[in-house]
């Protein structure tokens, strides 16, 4: 980078992206970099939480609701169809679990 200080968000513009790769080792790829992040203690915690919160929703919509491809074309129409499926998923959750009593 010509100006490494620009990458500091507190003093610079924050528009430059840089990845420091260790010298002397084999060429590090972004896949290796992501593997390190996921395999870290913090990464394991984040991704295990995702598996229990987000993935079941996609599984339910894809498998039980049989949305394996959209039947409409165009971004607005697909977005509307996706929102409809999400709304049905949330209505089913309310029906099955009801209001939580504190």
Residue 21 lies in a domain: no
Q: Which of 13-17, 24-28, 46-50, 86-90 is least confident?
A: 13-17
> Percent of the chain, pLDDT > 90?
7
Q: Both tokens of residue 79?
A: 């977005």
Give the model's pLDDT for residue 31: 86
Q: In a 3-state reduction of DSSP, which class is residue 79?
A: helix
- pLDDT tens readout for residues 78-94: 999 989 988 888 888 88
Using CA atoms, how far apart are residues 73 and 21, in angstroms rounded to an integer? Answer: 42
Residue 6 lies in a domain: no
Domain that holds residue 45: 28-97
Asked if residues 95 and 70 have their Cβ atoms less than 8 Å apart, the reply is no
Using CA atoms, how far apart are residues 70 and 61, in angstroms rounded to an integer? Answer: 12
Residue 22 lies in a domain: no
Nearest to 65 by CA among 87, 83, 89, 81: 89
Structural domains in the chain (count): 1
Give the model's pLDDT for residue 36: 86
Task: Give me the chain's average pLDDT, please.
Answer: 76
């Amino acid at each position: 980078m010509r100006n490494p200080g620009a990458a500091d968000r507190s003093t610079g513009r924050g528009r430059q992206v840089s990845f420091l790769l260790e010298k002397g080792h084999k060429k590090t790829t972004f896949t290796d970099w992501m593997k390190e992040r996921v395999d870290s203690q913090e990464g394991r915690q984040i991704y295990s939480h995702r598996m229990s919160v987000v993935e079941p929703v996609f599984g339910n919509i894809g498998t039980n609701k049989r949305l394996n491809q959209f039947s409409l074309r165009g971004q607005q129409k697909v977005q509307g169809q996706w929102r409809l499926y999400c709304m049905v998923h949330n209505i089913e959750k309310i029906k099955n679990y009801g209001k939580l009593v504190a």
